[in-house]
Amino acid sequence: MHRYIPNNDGTRKEMLESVGASSIEDLFKDIPSDLRLGRDLNLPKALSELEVRKHMGQLAAKNKNIEELPCFLGAGAYDHYIPGIIKHLISRSEFYTAYTPYQPEVSQGTLQVIFEYQTMITELTGMDVTNASMYDGPTACGEAAVLACENTRRQSVIVSKTVNPETRKVLKSYLKARSLELIEVDAVDGVTDVEKLKSLVTKETAGVIVQSPNFFGIIEDVTEVEKIVHENKANLIMYVDPISLGILKSPGELGADIVVGEGQSLGNSLSYGGPHLGFFATTKKLVRKIPGRIVGQTEDADGNRAFVLTLQAREQHIRRYKATSNICSNQGLNTLVATIYLTAMGKEGLKEVALQSMQKAHYAFNELTKSGKFKPLFPNKPFFKEFALTSDIDSSKVNEELLKNNILGGYELGKDYEEHKNGLLLCVTEKRTKEEIDTLARVMEVL
């Protein structure tokens, strides 16, 4: 009997007889012989389960991973510590179905998780409402831009070039499909060019998207941006790192209308770049226009606490042209991870992660720049956990040498910004030790 298809000869004969065939060949007799291969596929011999496990283990061992190498790579996906409680709880069988339930009110546990997730994200962002999560940060950003256009009845969105390049690519696809205009505003010294932005924002602008800390790790001063946006009755959309909100002012306090971002940092693993989850928060004024779903709290007929799907303005439930978006499936398991993470860490724990990341990043920055061999790409700019350096050395060569020394280096900015050909974006989270940072500095100093 085969391990994976447990049919013996007798079972196969019985199945063939039930469909009126005498052999496997009979099943393919309608395909002309000149179109058939006429020989067995060139495949290796079948392996037992034990042999497959061994083979796959050998293949996996060829990869380097962050358990072996200290990671200084960020640029949108981050190596933060994942508390052990997360893996323990999400491994419970009742949580393994991530799909949003179609008979929601009988799934009170799932609804409660989403309700608590929404509560914590609204507190973190300083906004009024949050939906039940989205595919990832970039898609959340695309939906935010569409919402701004629908809310203002305008057709143009402006995005800063300091927003993650991958997010801008997704944004471009989103708006192109809806025939909406996307304008990119230049960066100057690593931050949004406010004077250029002022000249671009018009009465036709629906929204302006800024990221803080931005792709270069710099904390943007959005005070002037907020004034420009709201003076023109447009919407301010902020793309944020949720960990940074442990110590920075919330977007709500800064005047944002819509807040989006990537929730991978909140306890989700890197997982080759996904799946992750996007969070989407906004004001009460816009609650009926947001994509996805919102879970609310109520009481049942007996007065017990209960949870319900309160808003779900998708095309299955209302007339198609009035639906906000066809995005409906939240990233259930990833959302659960974020909920457990925020619950386990609490306000003080999140603040501690943010402080440690920032302090260690600043220590690394000082160590790497003190000799002058590597210089700040954007001097005198406040940064959170990422910073950009430049030197006379090709950044890809720097990373090659770091890898030879068992260190996962930074992001090569020249991939997305031609003007920063030798730029290297380094990230330091709370996981990095002083010894690891000192080793990084020592290796880079002798390149």
Is 90 exceeded by the pLDDT of residue 93?
A: no
Q: Is the dihedral of CA 172, 173, 175, 176 positive or negative?
A: positive
| Contact between 123 and 250 (Cβ < 8 Å) | no
> Strand runs (DSSP E) across 125-250, as ranges?
129-130, 156-160, 181-185, 187-188, 191-192, 205-211, 235-239
pLDDT of residue 282: 98
pLDDT of residue 328: 65
347-446 maps to which CATH number?
Answer: 3.90.1150.10
pLDDT of residue 154: 98
Is 70 exceeded by the pLDDT of residue 63?
A: yes
The whole-angstrom separation of Cα 296 and Cα 309 is 6
Q: How confident is the model over 365-391, as pLDDT tens digits?
A: 999 999 999 999 999 999 999 999 999
The arrangement of strands across the sheet holding 156-160 comes to 129-130, 278-282, 258-262, 235-239, 205-211, 156-160, 181-185
Fold of the domain spanning 84-340: Aspartate Aminotransferase; domain 2 (3.40.640)
Q: For residues 328-346, give the mean pLDDT.
A: 90
Range(s) of the chain covered by CATH 3.40.640.10:
84-340
pLDDT of residue 309: 86
pLDDT of residue 332: 86
Q: How confident is the model over 12-21, as pLDDT tens digits?
A: 999 999 999 9
Structural tokens at position 247: 């110590």
Higher pLDDT, 330 or 302: 302
Is 60 exceeded by the pLDDT of residue 315?
A: no
3-state DSSP assignment of residue 399: helix
pLDDT of residue 375: 97
Q: How confident is the model over 220-241, as pLDDT tens digits?
A: 999 999 999 999 999 999 999 9
Structural tokens at position 76: 């949108």
pLDDT of residue 316: 60
The whole-angstrom separation of Cα 75 and Cα 211 is 12
Report if pTM > 0.75: yes
